[in-house]
């Protein structure tokens, strides 16, 4: 009796594992037990994840790509038909916006660094400073309704990049005038790069919202 029960349970576990790795399973089944509510909850969760990922761009995290990953998982495991389903077109649009954000951030940072002649050391410290500054700005904020923390994260991120770049050049023995020009370039490169990436991230979030609503 014990052996029969054990074999039965092992067979059930094997069936579950095979079902999990089988890419051809009906993705509506695992949401079906919740009825229409399951699909709605999945769509709401997707939008919330995309919003959080969008905000993480302010602290130099790959928020836009996190959103694309969330959309891909939703397209695979979420509703396969109906208003809440999303397809390949949505994923391609979101991917394009994310790529655009990366290009803007890279070009802004590279142009500023090249123009000022920044070293690798100052670039590294600029990245560290921008992360620390953005986190501080997001926590402290500025007295502007609704968008105070966002503006503060962008501003403090730029100031942190400036401080990091100046320290990197100064610790490398560069004169003050030269370090200041590199610091200015780091500020504008970080600020414009973040604004471009943040705007692209908004388009990714908008794509997700439109996809599950229309």
Q: How many helices (H) and strands (E) does the chain have?
A: 8, 0
Residue at 11 is within a domain = no
Confidence class of residue 169 from pLDDT cuts 50, 70 and 90? confident
Is 50 exceeded by the pLDDT of residue 53?
Answer: yes
Angle at 129 between CA 124 and CA 131, to 5 degrees: 100
| Measured distance CA(58)–CA(19) in Å, rounded | 39
**Which range of residues forms the domain containing residue 134?**
32-213
123 close to 168: Cβ distance less than 8 angstroms: yes
User: pLDDT tens, 72-121?
Assistant: 999 888 777 777 888 899 999 999 999 999 898 888 877 766 666 777 77
Closest by Cα among 128, 133, 135, 124 to 55: 135
| pLDDT at 135 (0 to 100) | 85
**For the whole prediction, is pTM greater than 0.75?**
no
Residue at 23 is within a domain = no
155 close to 172: Cβ distance less than 8 angstroms: no
Residue at 13 is within a domain = no
Residue at 21 is within a domain = no
| pLDDT at 116 (0 to 100) | 65
Residue at 38 is within a domain = yes
| Measured distance CA(127)–CA(133) in Å, rounded | 10
Nearest-Å Rg of the Cα atoms of the chain is 23
| Measured distance CA(92)–CA(72) in Å, rounded | 10
How many domains does the chain divide into? 1
| pLDDT at 161 (0 to 100) | 86
| pLDDT at 178 (0 to 100) | 75
Percent of the chain's residues with pLDDT above 70: 78
Closest by Cα among 170, 161, 138 to 151: 138
Residue at 172 is within a domain = yes
| pLDDT at 9 (0 to 100) | 46
Residue at 143 is within a domain = yes
Is 60 exceeded by the pLDDT of residue 155?
Answer: yes
* Block residue for tokens 């986190």: 135
| pLDDT at 158 (0 to 100) | 87
94 close to 127: Cβ distance less than 8 angstroms: no
Confidence class of residue 5 from pLDDT cuts 50, 70 and 90? very low
Is 80 exceeded by the pLDDT of residue 36?
Answer: no
Confidence class of residue 189 from pLDDT cuts 50, 70 and 90? confident
Is 60 exceeded by the pLDDT of residue 174?
Answer: yes
Residue at 167 is within a domain = yes
Higher pLDDT, 206 or 34: 206
Confidence class of residue 18 from pLDDT cuts 50, 70 and 90? very low
84 close to 212: Cβ distance less than 8 angstroms: yes
Higher pLDDT, 99 or 28: 99
């Amino acid at each position: 009796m014990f052996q029969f029960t054990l074999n039965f349970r092992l067979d059930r576990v094997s069936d579950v594992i095979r079902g999990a790795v089988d890419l051809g399973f009906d993705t509506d089944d695992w949401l079906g037990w919740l009825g229409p509510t399951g699909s709605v909850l999945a769509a709401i969760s997707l939008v919330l994840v995309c919003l959080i990922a969008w905000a993480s761009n302010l602290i130099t995290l790959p928020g836009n790509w996190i959103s694309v990953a969330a959309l891909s998982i939703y397209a695979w495991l979420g509703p396969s038909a109906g208003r809440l389903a999303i397809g390949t077109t949505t994923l391609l649009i979101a991917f394009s916006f994310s790529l655009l954000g990366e290009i803007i951030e890279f070009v802004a940072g590279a142009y500023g660094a090249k123009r000022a002649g920044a070293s690798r050391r100052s670039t590294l410290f600029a990245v560290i400073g921008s992360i620390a500054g953005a986190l501080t700005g997001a926590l402290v904020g500025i007295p502007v309704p609704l968008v105070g923390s966002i503006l503060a994260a962008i501003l403090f991120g730029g100031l942190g990049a400036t401080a990091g770049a100046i320290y990197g050049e100064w610790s490398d023995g560069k004169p003050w005038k030269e370090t200041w020009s590199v610091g200015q370039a780091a500020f504008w490169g970080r600020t414009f790069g973040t604004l471009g990436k943040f705007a692209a991230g908004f388009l990714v979030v908008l794509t997700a919202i439109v996809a599950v609503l229309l």
